[in-house]
């Protein structure tokens, strides 16, 4: 397992406890909730740009 940062809300999420994940441009992102995942999938670049 590994810690990952939810790019939508900024929360730290354990990859094996994440509510969902999505791959974008070769990187897998993990999310605390289905709502965060849906927001990311709708417009990934909006969230990645903030990193």
Q: Compute the least distance from the CB of residue 3 to Zn ion, in Å.
A: 14
* Residue bearing tokens 């995942």: 37
Per CB under 5 A, does 36 bind Zn ion? yes
18 vs 38: CA distance, rounded Å: 13
The pair phi, psi for residue 14, each rounded to 5°, is: -75, 130
Among 7, 29, 32, 37, binds Zn ion (CB under 5 A): 32
Per CB under 5 A, does 18 bind Zn ion? no
The contact set with Zn ion (CB under 5 A) reads: 6, 8-9, 11, 32, 36
């Amino acid at each position: 397992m590994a810690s990952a940062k939810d790019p939508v809300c900024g929360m730290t999420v354990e990859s094996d406890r994440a509510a969902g994940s999505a791959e974008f441009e070769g990187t897998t992102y993990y999310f605390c909730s289905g709502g965060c995942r849906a927001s990311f999938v709708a417009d990934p670049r909006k969230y990645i740009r903030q990193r």
